[in-house]
Every structure is written in C-alpha cells, then in structure tokens.
Structure 1
Amino acid sequence: MMKLTYSKQGDYLLPDLIAHKEPEASPGKYAYLRREYLKEQHYGMFLSLLTQGTLNQHLTEIQEAAQARMTQITREMARNQQVNEQLKADNPMLWVGQMNNIRQAAEEIVMQELIYR
C-alpha cells in the first residue's frame, strides 16, 4: 500500500499527488472518439485510466484494434457483395458508391464494438 505524504499549504494539509508519466501518443480518429466517449459517459473509468497513467496506452490499443477491424470488415463485405476490381474497371461510379456504403457500415460496426462499449 502506498504511503501518502502531505504538505502544508497555508492552513491546510494537501496530499502530495504525482501523476504517472505516460508516453505521448498521437491519437487517431477512433482514439479521439473513445476518449470523448469515456469523458462524457464513463467519467470514472476515464479518471481511473488517467490517474493510473494508462489512458494513452488504452487509446492506442483502441485505435489499432479499430483500424484492423475496419480493414477486416471492409474486405469481407466487399467480397460478399462482389465489389471487386472488375466492377471498378467496368463501372467506377457504382464501385465508389458501394465502397462508401461498405465503409460506412463497417465504421458503424466498429463504433459499436470498440468505441461505445
């Protein structure tokens, strides 16, 4: 168990708290969305991760997992819907529209699975 030390500030004794040093991370889209979700909906968990010094690590893991899952879902959906290079060559506008729909659907799945849990 940690021993707390106190320092006198005027008439008050305040605990000497030191935040854990965390490596800096450049968050991506999904890390940012997860951070905001935790701040607004699960503030206790957000503070716990922040004070333990594991928030950036958590956000980095979420970002990597979300990107990997997006790639996987997009490939599977494109294969299942037969949105391939042949369609891209024959009808580029149809291919773009279908790929946009697939990416949007994949992103909604990722948001539910990883960000808003």
Structure 2
Amino acid sequence: MKLSYTNVNGYLIPNLTYKSGEQMEQLGKYGFLRRDYLKNHRNSTYQVMLLQDTIGEHLLEVDKAAREREEVILKQLEEKEPLPDKAADQMAWHRFFG
C-alpha cells in the first residue's frame, strides 16, 4: 500500500489505495459486492483490512467461494428441474428465460 496524504483543513488525511491493482482486476461480481458491504456496513473492519493490506486477498477468496457455491446450486437446480429443449419446446424455453 502506498501512503500519500491530502491536507484537509490543516489535517493530513491518508489517501489509501490497494497495493496490487491486479487483484482488483481479477475481482468478480461477488468480490465487489463484499467490498461494498464492508465499506457501507462494516467500515472499521474494511479500514483495518485496507491498512493491513489483506483486503484484496479477502475479496478474491470471497469471490471464488461464492462462484463455486453458485455453480453447485445451479447444478442442483438443473438436476431437480432440467432445462427445456429450445428447439422442441420454445414456449417452455421462453417461460424460463423470457
């Protein structure tokens, strides 16, 4: 993490940035959702993780776990109720994805 400061009314406020921009490039939907949740509802935890430079790793971990769980759930749903054949039954397909 690089520390630079901004002068606000005589106080030096640190400008916090992520150490590794490449971690943010790898981040998916669920990682960004987790980041927003931490920033908006657990700000002190977010700030500590940012200062300790553990936020990027945490967000990638959450994103990976959520995507794996999503795949499991989708497979279970498809086993329970298979998707209709688009060519054979276009109306059923449209009900699913319409």
Distance 1:37 1:96, change over 3 A: farther
Letter in 2 for 1:90: A
- % identity of equivalent residues: 30
- In structure 2, which of residues 70, 75, 92 is the aligned counterpart of residue 94 of structure 1? 92
Larger Rg: 1
Q: CA RMSD in A?
A: 2.5
Query: Structure 1 residue 97: deviation in Å?
Result: 4.2
Task: Detail structure 1 runs of 4+ shifted over 6 Å in the superposition.
Answer: none
Matched, 1:63 2:63: yes
What TM-score do the two structures reach when normalised by structure 1? 0.57
* Runs of 5+ consecutive residues of structure 1 not aligned to the other structure: 1-13, 101-117
Q: In 2, are the aligned partners of 1:31 and 1:60 still within 8 Å (CA)?
A: yes
Distance 1:23 1:80 in 2: 42
Give the length in aligned residue pairs: 80
Q: Whose helix fraction is larger, Structure 1's or Structure 2's?
A: 1
Letter in 1 for 2:40: E
